[in-house]
């Protein structure tokens, strides 16, 4: 499909994901000011983020199914309205429960409306360069910590936390509602281009497969299992990286800069792996990335100085950032576009559950052994498990280039 609007869809997906995910993750900026102003514990405020992950995962499946049926424009428009409403409610909350409903439930619902549905919609616009397109949308989402969080930090220095959060809520409406109205469905095709699968009996044709059949297929078990273990493996190391660097004697500013380098490397990894997947095949690039992720995570248990942290941050960021968009490409290749939103939403739900495990397990490991060694060794082992499952993916042959 050669419509120039497909690249506008990529830009819209990246922009909306950046705003939605960035607003959700800006809670880290608000944590201290909210606690000081309200007297709520940091653990109780942080629980809103755990709620976000769980709600986003479940909602992603539901939003994906709705986007398959009613189109992605309606879904992202609902998500835009919910994001502004959640932030506005949270900014006016006078009780912890109200805050967690606004920031945890409503913002989580909103985030779920943007991740799986927008990526699924973008895949429908591309017959070639699909890996690159999905990676660019993912890279836009990856820009969230580098854009919305600094903006929230600037607002906090000029206003109280309630005003700052309210401004972000109204700003999200101003950006996301017009963007959502620009979203289009792809032009109708005379025939659906389906990639062939080598080495095994392929799944039923995409136009013949029901959602129930897809979710019970071995292909989905491999996709969902790999996605779950991948996220369970890297969520703990990502969340506790700054604490581990400080535990090793590095300054707070050095720890922050290491975290930033890791995030920037993740953006590069998304683009690098997307291009590589288009040229070398998705499965080969995914397995390579998962093995690199596993080895890097395990190596963290052996390092202590800043130079080693920076070097591993680059490799780790490229690896975990690079593999994330590839799951959407595989879902599209195996299950087609008709049920892509629901299938990828279900896989995203499993990944969100995996993400929710890492922070709490990492905290338990440190509280039990007073170091993070077993977190990194255990997470590395889990990442190897993800790579092992990924080896069972049927290899998807590349579609021939189209003029």
Most confident residue range from 5-9, 179-183, 259-263: 179-183
Residue 193 domain-assigned (yes or no): no
Whole domain around residue 275: which residue ranges?
A: 205-393
**Across 145-149, 164-168, 203-207, 377-381, least confident range:** 203-207
Q: What is the pLDDT of residues 82-140, one digit of tens each?
A: 999 999 999 999 999 999 999 989 999 998 888 778 887 887 787 777 777 877 887 77
Is 327's pLDDT higher than 80? yes
Do 176 and 210 lie in one domain? The reply is no
Task: Flag whether pLDDT at 190 surpasses 50.
Answer: no
In this structure, the answer to whether residues 223 and 296 fall within a common structural domain is yes
Radius of gyration (C-alpha) of the chain in whole angstroms? 20
Tell me the whole-structure pTM to 2 decimals.
0.70
pLDDT in tens, 385-403: 999 999 988 765 444 434 3
Question: 8-17, 109-118, 314-323: which has the minimum mean pLDDT?
Answer: 109-118
* Confidence at residue 244, expressed as pLDDT on a 0 to 100 scale: 83
Output the CA–CA distances (angstroms, integers) from residue 368 to 233, 240, 362, 363, 376, in the order listed.
Answer: 19, 15, 10, 9, 14
Question: 12 phi and psi, to 5 degrees?
Answer: -65, -45
Mean pLDDT across the stretch 302-323? 90
Residues 276 and 139 in one domain: no
Give the CA dihedral 354, 352, 291, 132, nearest 10 degrees.
180
Task: Note whether 219 and 176 are same-domain residues.
Answer: no
263 and 220: one domain? yes
Determine the pLDDT at residue 191: 41
pLDDT at 199 over 80: no
Supply the pLDDT for residue 201.
40
168 in Cβ contact with 87 (< 8 Å): yes
* Higher per-residue confidence, 331 vs 2: 331
* Domain identity same for 156 and 212: no
Six token digits for residue 40: 């709520």
Q: Both 369 and 231 in a single domain? A: yes
Quickly list H helices, 194-281. Answer: 211-215, 218-247, 252-280
- Residue 192 located in a structural domain: no
Asked whether the predicted pLDDT for residue 145 surpasses 70, the reply is no
The mean pLDDT value of the chain amounts to 82
* Same domain for 228 and 119: no
User: Is 351 in contact with 297 (CB distance < 8 Å)?
Assistant: no
For the chain, the first-to-last Cα distance in angstroms comes to: 9
**230 and 92 in one domain?**
no
303 phi and psi angles, rounded to 5 deg: -105, 165
Angle between helices 5-25 and 42-70 (to 10 degrees): 160
Specify the CATH number for the domain of residue 51: 1.20.1250.20
pLDDT tens digits for range 247-270: 888 886 787 778 778 878 888 888
Answer whether residue 340 shows pLDDT above 60: yes
Instruction: State how far the Cα of 114 lies from the Cα of 131, in Å rounded to an integer.
Output: 18
CA atoms within 13 Å, Cβ hemisphere of 188: 1
12 lies in the same domain as 127? yes
């Amino acid at each position: 499909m050669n419509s120039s609007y497909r690249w506008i869809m990529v830009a819209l997906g990246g922009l909306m994901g950046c705003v939605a995910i960035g607003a959700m993750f800006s809670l880290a900026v608000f944590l201290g000011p909210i606690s000081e102003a309200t007297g709520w514990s940091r653990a109780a405020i942080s629980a809103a983020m755990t709620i976000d992950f769980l709600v986003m995962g479940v909602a992603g499946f539901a939003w994906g199914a709705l986007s398959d049926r009613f189109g992605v424009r309606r879904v992202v428009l609902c998500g835009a309205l919910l994001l502004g409403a959640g932030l506005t409610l949270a900014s006016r909350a006078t009780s912890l429960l109200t805050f967690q409903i606004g920031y945890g439930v409503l913002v989580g619902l909103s985030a779920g409306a943007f991740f799986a549905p927008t990526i699924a919609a973008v895949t429908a616009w591309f017959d070639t360069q699909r890996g690159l397109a999905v990676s660019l949308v993912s890279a836009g989402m990856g820009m969230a910590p580098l854009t919305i969080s600094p903006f929230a930090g600037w607002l906090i220095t000029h206003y109280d936390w309630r005003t700052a959060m309210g401004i972000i809520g109204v700003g999200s409406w101003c950006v996301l509602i017009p963007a959502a109205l620009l979203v289009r469905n792809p032009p109708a095709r005379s025939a659906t281009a389906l990639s062939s699968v080598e080495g095994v009996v392929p799944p039923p044709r995409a136009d013949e497969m029901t959602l129930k059949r897809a979710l019970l297929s071995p292909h989905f078990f491999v996709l969902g299992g790999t996605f779950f273990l991948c996220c369970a493996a890297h969520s703990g190391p990502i969340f506790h990286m700054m604490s581990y660097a400080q535990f090793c004697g590095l300054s707070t500013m050095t720890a922050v800069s290491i975290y930033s380098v890791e995030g920037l490397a993740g953006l590069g990894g998304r683009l690098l792996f997307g291009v590589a997947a288009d040229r070398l095949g998705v499965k080969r690039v995914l397995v390579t990335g998962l093995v690199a992720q596993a080895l890097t995570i395990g190596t963290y248990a052996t390092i202590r100085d800043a130079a080693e942290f920076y070097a591993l941050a680059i490799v780790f960021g490229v690896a975990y950032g690079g593999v994330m968009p590839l799951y959407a490409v595989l879902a599209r290749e195996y299950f087609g576009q008709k049920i892509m939103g629901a299938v990828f939403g279900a896989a995203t739900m499993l990944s969100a559950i995996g993400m929710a495990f890492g922070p709490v397990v990492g905290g338990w490991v440190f509280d039990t052994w007073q170091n993070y060694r077993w977190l990194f060794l255990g997470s590395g082992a889990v990442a190897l498990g993800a790579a092992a499952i990924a080896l069972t993916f049927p290899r998807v042959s590349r579609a021939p280039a189209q003029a």
